[in-house]
Amino acid sequence: GAVVSQHPSWVICKSGTSVKIECRSLDFQATTMFWYRQFPKQSLMLMATSNEGSKATYEQGVEKDKFLINHASLTLSTLTVTSAHPEDSSFYICSASPLWSKNTEAFFGQGTRLTVV
């Protein structure tokens, strides 16, 4: 199957700093990638849709100035958590659908666990 790689797998940062998370599709291209957030024992909450070459579309209640998304190429999207606070600690997961699948299949990265201290 198609592989989506996230980096880093985990990160600990100080409150007030910014953290960048990368999402790469390793063996396919994707015009659209999705960013999710998962709180402990809860489902995945869609944060935003990342579109290659254009601005991301954010879900209601998600601060676009806090969660900066850049989709620079067909294989890379980045999520930057700016001025992180302890309440931003969470598990962040990205997904992508290969162009060849015509949006039938969605593959996920392994997730990034962010801990803000």
Partner 1 sequence: GEDVEQSLFLSVREGDSSVINCTYTDSSSTYLYWYKQEPGAGLQLLTYIFSNMDMKQDQRLTVLLNKKDKHLSLRIADTQTGDSAIYFCAERRGRDDKIIFGKGTRLHILP
Site for partner 1, rule CB under 8 A: 1, 6, 34, 36, 42-44, 46, 49, 93, 95, 103-111, 113
CB of 30 to partner 1, least distance (A): 13
User: Of 2 and 82, which has the nearer Cβ to partner 1?
Assistant: 2
* Structural contact between residues 26 and 3, judged by C-beta atoms closer than 8 angstroms: yes
Which CB sits closer to partner 1, 44 or 82?
Answer: 44
| b/e burial code for range 11-47 (CB count within 10 A of at least 16 → b) | bebeeeeebebbbbbeebebbbbbbbbeeeeeebeeb
Query: Of 74 and 106, which has the nearer Cβ to partner 1?
Result: 106
